[in-house]
Amino acid sequence: MITKDISQSVVKKDHVDKVAGQLPYISDVKMEDMLYGVLFRSPIAYGKVLSIQYPTLPEGYHVIGAEHIPGGNFVKILVPDQPIFANEWVNYIGEPIFMLVGKELKVLYQLLDEVEVEFEEHEATYTLDDAIGKMTDVMATHEFGESLQSIEKIEQEAYQIIEEEYETGYQEHVYLEPQGMLGIYQEDKIQVQGSMQCLYYIKNALISALACDDDEVRVIQSPTGGGFGGKEDFPSMMACHVAIAAQVVKKPVMLLFDRSEDLVVTTKRHPSKIKYKTALDKEGNILSMSTEVFLDGGANTGLSPVVLQRALLNSAGVYKIPHYHAKGYVLKTNTVPNGAFRGFGAPQSFAGIESHMGHLARIAGKDPLEYKRRYLVKQGDPTITNGRFRDPVFMEDMIEDLLETMKYRETKEEFTRFNQQSPRYKKGIGTSLFLHGCGFTGSGERDHIKATVKLLKTKEDKVLVKISNSDMGQGIFTTLSKIVAQELNVPYEEILFPYPDTKDVPDSGPTVASRTTMIVGKLLERAARRLKEQWQSGAEQEIVEHYVHEEMIPWDEKTFSGDAYPAYSWGVNMVEVEVDSLTGNVQLGEIHASFDIGKAIDERIVKGQIDGGMAQGLAYGFMEKMTSKQGKIQQRSITDYGPPTSMDIVHIESKLYDNPYAGGPYGAKGVGELTLIGGAPAVQSAIEDALAVSFYQIPITPEVIIESLEKREGEAVDKI
């Protein structure tokens, strides 16, 4: 079909196969002679491998270890500190030491049990607090903003100084499809297939590990059952494992994770600690603020330095704070490495700043929303890195509109009455205001990614989209095809978008950072426009388009100044909760949300991103709890971790504000990550409103609530 307005929804390209269950995910693939791999993992958090005793291997069973790696024994991400097989030092529980490969999983598991490894254990750093205490293993740090001397001067003259510490916990992706990767050996070449977000990250990791040429490795994305960042950096490691094994045994090698293995060893959202020091005048106005962000990187650097950048860039939220200073660190701990997760550092920062602003409002005796609005950034305002919010900012309109839709004031009054009469259940309403910088931070797109897209027109006049981005459920097969179809003015069904294969797609960059629709979509829009101009029916044609950098205030990573992002998406969430003061359980009430994402490429797909992202964001605030004890993840099942079920989530009333961005296709900006960010802070603010208690952490579990309520009751008794 040809739609008049691109936002009009169409049936998704992969809908039919997915509903019927016949689309083969990697665990559905079987090959002749295929072997399985299982990893022997470190049982200790930090120490030296002294000796390994392998059991006697039956015929056809192999040990694959560091000695089989032709290239460097590390997964290439930013820093070469992540071993493929840890053959000397182990840095966390679950770190792969070697892999056993063979035909029967049952035999492999049994062999794994018979392995004996002797370690020399060393004293490990288990928690972020330990790491902050030592400050010895700093994996990355940045500092920017107003000088501390001038802030000190302001503080000395201030009416009061408010210092707060805020903590956020782990978040686990729980993509429904556990991680899986298949390595295939073919005449001196290696092919890797699997569940992934970033084909070229994997390809580059393979070239480095296999020390081979570009044309000797090939990466193909399998249908991917959810990613959320969890399949951004982690699959590179698994790809190295299966590729090395396949090269040694010259057979296909499949590595599939169990859910419990996946929960324990794959990357998670960084736990964080954020410290705020804010100077206020007598009326509660902010005079200055300095923020310190600490991220728990886990055992390897991974993507953490970039996560820290985003955390810092968002540390002042959507506010214009006078005299702002920020500093941040990624610290090493001997725990599972943390990595990418939808939002990439921003959810921690927004939870923190929204919480802090809410508390400052209470100190000033103001309604939190009213207080926050006084500091909202406007078009033309500087960012905290001295960039500019160049495009229109509709936050005020969005807030006003939501206040009216949800009858904010009446609801608040109604809740006050309800709470006075109800001893057990307490209702509250909370708001969060947030943004998300679309695309890579700073000049990443220009200097590191350099995206290239290709459109291929066949003799039959079918158009194929050739890019390296993954559809992991978010729907780019559909949205990007729509952009191309709209530009070419052909029915959307005629655009073909096969699963990407590095053999025939250029590197259009990774599927991360809310960049695919905006950056890659824009390149495809341009490519389609050119194809249309040059269209020759019956001829095979190829159009290649490269990234063009938009002129902004130049980004300087050293000084952390300039425009960090080309564009921002915006959001407002308003959430009602009912808290059971007897048990601390929280039930969601009405939820309203408003977003400015430029322009929706497909309204239904965007709604899917909103509902799914908000469910994850809300649950991050009060439900999903993962802890590590002596370096060991404690929640080893989905139930113990507790992502929301259909009964935990309620209908979400959402709205979109058209605010087309010239740099995006049809005006579109990023969506995916934005939708998660506001959930947790809105829930916190609603719980605080219901109970009239301040919290300094997420998730605000029933345990946290009961402890606070008991403490308050104890204090009340003490006063009598």
Q: Answer for the pair 55, 115: CB distance below 8 angstroms, yes or no.
A: yes
Task: Output the smallest distance, CB 480 to other proteins, in A.
Answer: 16
Partners of 171 in the β-ladder: 269
Count Cα atoms within 13 angstroms, Cβ side, for 568.
Answer: 27
Task: Output the smallest distance, CB 424 to other proteins, in A.
Answer: 7
In the bound state with other proteins, the residue whose beta carbon lies nearer, of 430 and 613, is 613
In the bound state with other proteins, the residue whose beta carbon lies nearer, of 293 and 476, is 476
H helices present in 123-252, as ranges:
128-134, 148-157, 199-210, 234-249
Task: Output the smallest distance, CB 206 to other proteins, in A.
Answer: 25
Q: Over the range 440-470, which residues count as b (16 or more CB within 10 Å of their CB) and which as e?
A: bbbbbbeeebebbbbbbbeeebebbbbbbbb
CA angle 436, 263, 77 (to 5 degrees): 55
In the bound state with other proteins, the residue whose beta carbon lies nearer, of 140 and 588, is 588
Task: Give which of 230, 282, 228, 693 is closest to 474, Cα–Cα.
Answer: 228
Q: Answer for the pair 531, 543: CB distance below 8 angstroms, yes or no.
A: yes
In the bound state with other proteins, the residue whose beta carbon lies nearer, of 395 and 588, is 588
| 371 C-beta neighbours (distance < 10 Å), count | 21
Partners of 48 in the β-ladder: 89, 120
Task: Output the smallest distance, CB 137 to other proteins, in A.
Answer: 27
Q: Phi-psi bin for 307: left (phi > 0), alpha (psi -120 to 50), beta?
A: alpha
- Neighbouring residues of 593: CB distance < 8 A, sequence distance ≥ 6: 402, 571, 572, 573, 574, 610, 614, 652, 653, 654, 655, 678
SS3 407: coil
Task: Output the smallest distance, CB 339 to other proteins, in A.
Answer: 17
What six digits make up the tokens of 508?
């259009």
In the bound state with other proteins, the residue whose beta carbon lies nearer, of 664 and 702, is 702
Task: Output the smallest distance, CB 300 to other proteins, in A.
Answer: 25
In the bound state with other proteins, the residue whose beta carbon lies nearer, of 345 and 608, is 608
Task: Give which of 699, 604, 675 is closest to 435, Cα–Cα.
Answer: 675
In the bound state with other proteins, the residue whose beta carbon lies nearer, of 29 and 553, is 29
In the bound state with other proteins, the residue whose beta carbon lies nearer, of 71 and 589, is 589
- Neighbouring residues of 62: CB distance < 8 A, sequence distance ≥ 6: 100, 101, 102, 245, 248, 249
In the bound state with other proteins, the residue whose beta carbon lies nearer, of 566 and 608, is 608
Task: Output the smallest distance, CB 615 to other proteins, in A.
Answer: 3
User: What is the Cα–Cα distance from 20 to 15, expressed in whole angstroms?
Assistant: 9
Task: Output the smallest distance, CB 291 to other proteins, in A.
Answer: 30
Task: Output the smallest distance, CB 104 to other proteins, in A.
Answer: 9
In the bound state with other proteins, the residue whose beta carbon lies nearer, of 306 and 676, is 676
- Which helix or strand (DSSP H or E) is residue 287 part of? strand 286-298
Task: Output the smallest distance, CB 28 to other proteins, in A.
Answer: 4
- Neighbouring residues of 371: CB distance < 8 A, sequence distance ≥ 6: 284, 357, 358, 360, 361, 364
